[in-house]
């Protein structure tokens, strides 16, 4: 029995590593000038509206409440400033098509034509799509909405599509784990940033709509619960809570990687890590994106 439990932990951690590599590839388009250019040509010029249009379009022309619920860590006031107004400028179908054009341009620039045409990229696409066969729709709105979209023909876009499905599948489960841990959207951001692995506060203020005052108030609440120390770092209890959230997220997200199998997960992680490193080396993300200040 102990061996099986250990194997289960190892498998879920392997799934997390695989997700991290693929999520890096998925996330490149959020920081790409190509996304702003494509949606800007359709009249969506505010960077926040671009983000909402690109990620929420799979849900259809929904209102602010649905987007705030699905995204979890964005301030509702910011969401309501742009949604549903953005659908008066661009339809969800137009936003999805613009996003895919941006992803195509971004991956061509970051990875290069040789990588895009490689057998390794086609192999990664096949493995990632196979993993998505193990995903489930229940209580996963962003995953389920994206799962309704067609798989692109080009291997690099098929890989990105599969990475998106796996990212949103894990993300929907992660929100359930955060909710169960008693962390609201802003508190989730504060505790993640405190670990040194989350987005720097200035990027959160810029993209999520929270203010410094709201951030500080959330930190005070977390200190009151014994989760942050006076310097803003995680306490032992805070570290344990974040670790428990990640374990629960791993458990809720285990099915795709169990479906793919250990050998497939290892190979997809190897390939995805290589692509993510190449994208990172090509300047896919701002240098100051991650940090505690």
Average pLDDT over residues 144-172: 98
- The C-alpha atoms of residue 209 and residue 48 are separated, in whole angstroms, by 9
Percent of the chain with pLDDT over 70: 96
pLDDT tens string 71-108: 999 999 999 999 999 999 999 999 999 999 999 999 99
Q: If pLDDT is split at 50, 70 and 90, which confidence band does 12 have?
A: confident
pLDDT higher for 214 or 293?
Answer: 214
- The C-alpha atoms of residue 92 and residue 59 are separated, in whole angstroms, by 8
Among 87, 72, 85, 74, residue whose Cα is nearest residue 207: 74
Q: If pLDDT is split at 50, 70 and 90, which confidence band does 9 have?
A: very low
Q: What is the pTM assigned to this prediction? A: 0.95
CB 190 within 8 A of CB 219: yes
- The C-alpha atoms of residue 269 and residue 38 are separated, in whole angstroms, by 30
Burial class of residue 203 in the structure, from the number of CB atoms within 10 Å of its CB (0-12 exposed, 13-18 middle, 19+ buried): middle
pLDDT tens string 206-223: 999 999 999 999 999 999
Rounded to the nearest angstrom, the gap between the alpha carbon of residue 182 and the centroid of all alpha carbons in its chain is 21
Q: Is residue 180 scored above 50 in pLDDT?
A: yes
Q: Which residue has the tokens 């439990």?
A: 5
Residue 290 dihedral angles phi and psi, to the nearest 5°: -105, 135
Helix, strand or coil, per DSSP, at residue 41: coil
CB 32 within 8 A of CB 106: yes
In the structure encoding, which two tokens stand for residue 142, read together? 């962003």
pLDDT, position 11: 66
Q: Is residue 279 scored above 80 in pLDDT?
A: yes
pLDDT tens string 212-256: 999 999 999 999 999 999 999 999 999 999 999 999 999 999 999
Helix, strand or coil, per DSSP, at residue 196: coil
Among 34, 216, 2, residue whose Cα is nearest residue 107: 34
Residues with Cβ < 8 Å from 207, sequence gap 6 or more? Answer: 47, 48, 51, 199
- The C-alpha atoms of residue 242 and residue 219 are separated, in whole angstroms, by 15
- The C-alpha atoms of residue 39 and residue 19 are separated, in whole angstroms, by 27
- Give the chain's mean pLDDT: 95
pLDDT, position 293: 83
């Amino acid at each position: 029995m102990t061996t099986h439990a250990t194997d289960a932990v190892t498998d879920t951690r392997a799934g997390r590593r695989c997700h991290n590599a693929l999520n890096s590839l998925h996330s490149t388009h959020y920081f790409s000038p190509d996304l702003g250019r494509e949606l800007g040509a359709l009249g969506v010029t505010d960077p926040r509206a671009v983000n909402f249009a690109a990620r929420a379009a799979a849900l259809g022309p929904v209102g602010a409440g649905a987007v705030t619920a699905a995204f979890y860590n964005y301030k509702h006031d910011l969401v309501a400033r742009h949604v549903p107004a953005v659908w008066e400028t661009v339809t969800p179908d137009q936003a999805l098509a613009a996003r895919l054009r941006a992803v195509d341009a971004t991956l061509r620039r970051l990875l290069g034509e040789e990588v895009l045409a490689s057998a390794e990229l086609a192999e990664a696409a096949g493995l990632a799509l196979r993993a998505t066969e193990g995903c489930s729709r229940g209580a996963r709105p962003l995953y389920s909405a994206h799962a309704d979209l067609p798989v692109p023909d080009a291997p690099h876009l098929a890989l990105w599509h599969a990475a998106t499905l796996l990212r949103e599948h894990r993300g929907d489960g992660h929100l359930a784990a955060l909710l169960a841990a008693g962390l609201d959207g802003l508190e989730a951001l504060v505790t993640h940033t405190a670990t040194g692995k989350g987005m720097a506060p200035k990027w959160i203020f810029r993209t999520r709509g929270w203010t410094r005052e709201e951030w500080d108030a959330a930190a005070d609440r977390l200190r009151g619960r014994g989760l942050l120390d006076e310097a803003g770092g995680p306490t032992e209890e805070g570290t344990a809570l974040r670790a428990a959230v990640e374990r629960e997220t791993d458990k809720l997200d285990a099915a795709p990687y169990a479906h793919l199998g250990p050998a497939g997960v290892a190979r997809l992680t190897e390939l995805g890590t290589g692509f993510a490193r190449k994208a990172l080396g090509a300047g896919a993300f701002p240098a100051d994106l991650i940090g505690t200040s």
